[in-house]
Amino acid sequence: MKIISYIQGFLVREKLLVLLLAIFIAFIVFDHSLVERIPSYVNLDAIIVITSLLVISRCLHVSGLTNRIAAKILGRTGGSPRSTLFYILLITYLLAPLIMNDGAIFVVVPLVMVIAELSGHEEALLVTLVAVSANMASIILPIGNPQDIVIWTHYGIPFTEYILASLPLYLVSLGLLAVYIMFLSKKLILKEIPVLPRVRLDEKLAVASLVSLIAIIITAQLKAPWIGLVITIILVLLSRPHILVEIDYPLIAVFILMFIDFSEIPHLLRIQSLISMLSPLQIYGLSLVLSQGISNVPATIALIRHTIYWKALFAGVNIGGVGLLPGSMANIIALRLSRTSVRDYHRYALPFFLVMSMVGFILVLVGLYS
Amino acid sequence: MPIRIRAPGREPRRIRPEDAVKAINLVKESLKLFTAGPPLIHRGPAGEVHVDIPLIYDGYAFDRIHYDPYENSFSPKGRPVHAIGVKVDRDQVWELAKQYVKELVVIEAVEYRDPEDVWVVPLAWRCYIVAHVKVSYDGEELVPDYPLTEEISGRLM
């Protein structure tokens, strides 16, 4: 009985995994030859990098380092509502590329919920700004979010080339967010800036995590990400072994199934050659729209094997993540952590998304992302 | 997090009442920043339901508070409620829990746990002690419940 109850609990908790598994089984039943295509569909390098980063983002948070950074930055706000918003943006922009967009959401959203309550800021506004910032900030490093890890490893893009390519979109998004915040902060009145208490810092774990992070980037660049994973596991075993038990392993299975399911869809629809004929602008538009329906990681997987225009795909899926709620898993986590309604999220996110989409369109048109 | 055992041969820490007061004050100052995390709802084989509310700050969980679905209230520490025949609405429980967390007060007396090297500050809701918050021996830093922190982040994905 206990096993049945555990399985029931697991199925309820892992709805996405169950859904992807059901799609996988349906595909296998429909076409047995899928089994032969699986090795070519699953980007093992990306899976290994994502796994390593899942471990490291946990370690960085558990070590207390992210809390120290947030406490330090928020201690400098000086009481102005506008600067509070800017500093929250800064915290998110610093953390997201290092601990991935989802990780930054976990750290910053609880913080802004408290700030909203104490200060009279509208929580939905702050939560939405954090979600948008985490998505846009995470693009600067190829390890900042799953879709960029997939793009980075699939095309074998050199680290510096990736950063140079992502920089314009990153800077434009930062500038636009700053303007958006200036516009929104006019109506805000801040009553109190909380002093953030410090959480115990585990220096050994913090250093081990940062060393692992560098190792993951270098080894992924050398096309040997498993070495980064081994280094990560050894360092974590030496500092806090229990973290390895607490990793969200079903999420790794989710990514593997995403690779299989969403790579198979173009095959089933026989549209691979159609996708390969699309121009950069069309890839940008398609990935942007597709992200709104199926989220940006599946959109990346569905298109990546059939286009050479990685920059257009990169721009489309990353801007796509800040549109409708399903655009990115980070948005869903942000809303689930807070009281923000879907309507309120869209009220603040969609104006930014529309402007950002237009900017992305221009950047692709002028050749920066083509 | 496994309980840190004092290294063999290490002398027990010499504790100071001023550090205990610092620990209490730290939790008092921090309390306004604490909120209720997503309810952890466990369903048993006989259909019983057990609800815990994680107490969180900055993405870290510090303790789990037992929730009584019969009374729609917090239950004292040490009294988890396994309710049968009660419908539990996660969002409703969460909203109530958020309100209740605002009513928490710090009890101005502490325990000291030598193996973990921490002060333990009790929190009360109305007439019940419902949670503990751990603070480092010097009263300077909050010490989270790491396994619980991982549990709540896992459930949100």
Is A298 among the domain residues?
A: yes
**Residue linked to tokens 């009553």:** A191
Is A163 among the domain residues?
A: yes
Closest CA to A243 of A49, A50, A55, A102: A55
Task: State the total domains in chain A.
Answer: 1
What is the tens place of the pLDDT at every residue in A114-133?
Answer: 777 766 667 888 899 999 99
- CA–CA distance, A305 with A39 (Å, rounded to integer): 13
Give the distance, in angstroms, between the CA of residue B112 and the centroid of all CA atoms in the same chain: 16
SS3 category, B72: coil
| Axis-axis angle for helices A225-239, A203-221 (nearest 10) | 170
Is A370 among the domain residues?
A: no
Domain that holds residue A206: 2-365
Closest CA to A314 of A170, A148, A156: A148
Using the predicted structure, report yes or no on whether residue A78 has a pLDDT greater than 70. no
Q: Which of A114, A195, A254 to mutate to test the interface with B (most CBs of B within 10 A)?
A: A114
Using the predicted structure, report yes or no on whether residue A81 has a pLDDT greater than 80. no
- Whole-model pTM: value is 0.80
Closest CA to A352 of A138, A147, A130, A189: A130
- CA–CA distance, A166 with B94 (Å, rounded to integer): 40
What is the tens place of the pLDDT at every residue in B38-88?
Answer: 899 988 888 899 999 999 988 889 999 999 999 999 999 999 999 998 989
- CA–CA distance, A243 with A236 (Å, rounded to integer): 7
- CA–CA distance, B125 with B101 (Å, rounded to integer): 8
ipTM confidence score: 0.83
- Across the strands, what pairs with B36? B55
Q: Are A264 and A27 in contact (CB under 8 A)?
A: yes
Taking contacts as CB-CB distances below 8 angstroms, the residues of chain B near A2 are: 45
Residues of A with CB under 8 A from a CB of B: 1-2, 4-5, 8-9, 13, 58, 61-62, 64, 66-67, 70, 102, 106-107, 109-111, 113-114, 118, 194-201, 240, 242-243, 246, 248, 251, 329, 333, 336-337, 339
